Amino acid sequence: MKGNRIGVAVGAVLAAGLLTFSISVAFGASAKVSKFKQGGTLTVAMTAGEPDALDPTLARTFSGREVFLTMCEKLYDLNAKTHIVPQLAAALPKVSKNKLSVTVKLRHGIKFNDGTAFTSAAVVKTIRHYLTATGSVRASEISAVKSITAKGKYAVVFHLKSPYSPLTAQLADRAGMILSAKQLGKLGLNFAKHPVCVGPFMYKGRIAGDSITVVRSPFYYNKSKVHFSKIVFKIYNDTTAAAQALKAGTVQAIDGLASTDIPGIKSDKSLRVTKAAGLGYGGITINIGNKNGLLKLPYQNVGTDLAKSPALRKAFELAINRKTLAKVVFNNTVLPGCTAVSPSSSWFDKSIKCTPYNPKQAKALVQKSGISNPTVNLMVPTGTVALREAQFIQAEEAAVGIHMNVQSTDFVTALSKADAGTYDAFLIGWSGRVDPDGNIYGFVATPGTLNDSGYSKPTVDKLLNKARRAASTKSRRTAYHSVEAQILKDRPLIYLDHPIANAGFSKKLGGIKMYPDTLLRVAFAGYTK
């Protein structure tokens, strides 16, 4: 929601110019930053909302992923070209002929940030925890895993219920973050109180609603690449305030700039801006069947105006002009879209046609719905940009006869309400994954651990499972095409756009990177000499 670098492509390389964003003090063709000052504190302004639980088992926020990049390494990672590369694993996985077992070799000589050894035992314990822990968001991501066993001290074998094409991609995100067996045994579901993983930094503390601090780890296997003594992630709900803090030097980097703040940052000679087209999306999740809480099956229609009327959901979408939204609210720093897969992804399906903006048809559908004065309560994470977007949509809906209440809610509380099903509609985005399964399955599969909509469609479940088992890219594309078409028809989510992320930072900094997952990578940053 980021080390051997020999990779195999998962999907094609993204569009030219979005391969890597390595920020250094000089940008000449042959310029390189060879030395950094040692020590000091880096303060990063986080603008995507406060991270939720700092436990990979439970975490689901973009901002949380950004913090994890400094302290919780994974079996695999993504490089600048979105190729999957080994991180804690020693090589890419070896798949058996029947595709039901996957062997992962592990690197030697690595320690967790409590000094304990990174071995197959810790990997086995972590994956079993992800599969079985109450509330695990990772469970559906790796639900094809029947069991995992150690193969000596430095290899593990994933035993699958059926072939599962997205496994390596899932292990390149939070499902591949390995937890200290000692700390997991000690804290269990309270792991977020003091998370311990392998990483260049280790967790120091958290002030709710304000900041998260990590400090340089004495146990990291590649300490020479770590320069700052401390990184403070400072939470800003107001992006303009964050931009002002960057100009003032209170923070040295900001992970997301609002479109209105970009010109001011670019005009400051002490600052730089970089951007990347992302793999994620922004949209509206509609509570259709989450009556009793996430995964409290069977899902039952909640009976709100949007839930009980597919025609009204269509009218709601028809009323929104995505192109105008992108221009007016985001100053074209997003790409209008209507599916879970971004145009930046090699999996993007150009044949899917979006529901066109048509307020006249929307008004007619509202009148035919039989619902007098239809009302939608839209839960919106606290923040200036989100509020501006909600107000734009509110005006669009009012024009076709749908009354929309905007409910500004702090992000962590909003996530809890979404899981509990105590909401009507939720303006929320997703940071995106390299494999489409990571953008779709968890949100719309009946057992999906992010299915706050309470959406349940046997045909969709069947297609998603087929895509997971399929060996060929062609078969997977066919299945996802059908899934996306069905989602467009049923509208448990209404996708609105795909991000073009802009980050700002001091020119004194080097070693910051942003890849197409749009996460700001700061673990190996430093002040240049």
The one-digit pLDDT tens for each residue of the chain (529 residues) are 333 322 333 333 223 232 233 333 233 333 344 489 999 999 999 998 899 999 999 999 999 999 999 999 999 999 888 899 999 999 999 999 999 999 999 999 999 999 999 999 999 999 999 999 999 999 999 999 999 999 999 999 999 999 999 999 999 999 999 999 999 999 999 999 999 999 999 999 999 999 999 999 999 999 999 999 999 999 998 999 999 999 999 999 999 998 889 999 999 999 999 998 899 999 999 999 999 999 999 999 999 999 999 999 999 999 999 999 999 999 999 999 999 999 989 899 999 999 999 999 999 999 999 999 999 999 999 988 999 999 999 999 999 999 999 999 999 999 999 999 999 999 999 989 999 999 999 999 999 999 999 999 999 999 999 999 998 999 999 999 999 999 999 999 999 999 999 999 999 999 999 988 889 999 999 999 8
Q: What is the pTM of this model?
A: 0.81
Compute how many other C-beta atoms are within 10 angstroms of the C-beta atom of residue 269: 7
Q: Tell me phi and psi for residue 519, to 5 degrees.
A: -85, 135
State the pLDDT at residue 373.
94
Strands 22-23 and 41-46: unpaired
In DSSP notation, 240-306 reads HHHHHHHHHTS-SEES---TTTHHHHHT-TTEEEEEEE-S-EEEEEE-SS-SS-TT-SSP-----HH
pLDDT value of position 7: 32
Phi, psi torsion values for 385, nearest 5 degrees: -70, -45
Per the structure block, which two tokens stand in for 255? 């992970």
Of the candidates 504, 123, 498, the one whose C-alpha atom is nearest the C-alpha of residue 340 is 498
Judged by DSSP in three states, 424 sits in coil
Contact between 66 and 174 (Cβ < 8 Å): no
- Any long-range contacts for 355-359 (C-beta under 8 Å, 24+ apart)? 355/314, 355/317, 355/318, 355/488, 356/318, 357/318, 357/319, 357/320, 357/321, 357/322, 357/323, 357/324, 358/318, 359/318, 359/319, 359/396, 359/399, 359/400
pLDDT value for 478: 98
SS (HEC) of 79-106 = CCCCEEEECCECCCCEECCCCCEEEEEE
Per-residue model confidence (pLDDT) at position 517: 86
* CATH number corresponding to 22-270+507-527: 3.40.190.10
Please tell me the predicted confidence (pLDDT) of residue 152: 98
CA–CA gap between residue 186 and residue 194 (Å, rounded) = 10
184, two tokens:
């997991």
Residue 218 Cα to chain centre, angstroms: 29
Question: How many residues belong to the chain?
Answer: 529
Quick one: which H or E segment has residue 367?
helix 359-368
CA triple 311-312-314, angle to 5 deg: 65
**Closest to 257 measured CA to CA, from 244, 241, 269, 239:** 239
Cβ atoms 234, 44 nearer than 8 A: yes
| Cross-strand bridge partners of residue 9 | 83
Within 10 A of 3 (CB to CB), how many other CB atoms are there? 13
Q: Domain boundaries in the chain?
A: 22-270+507-527, 281-500
Q: Answer yes or no: same fold for 22-270+507-527 and 281-500.
A: no
Q: Taking the domain 281-500, which CATH number applies?
A: 3.10.105.10
3 state DSSP class of 73 = coil
The conformational region for residue 457 under phi > 0 = left, psi -120 to 50 = alpha, else beta, is beta
pLDDT score recorded for residue 28: 33
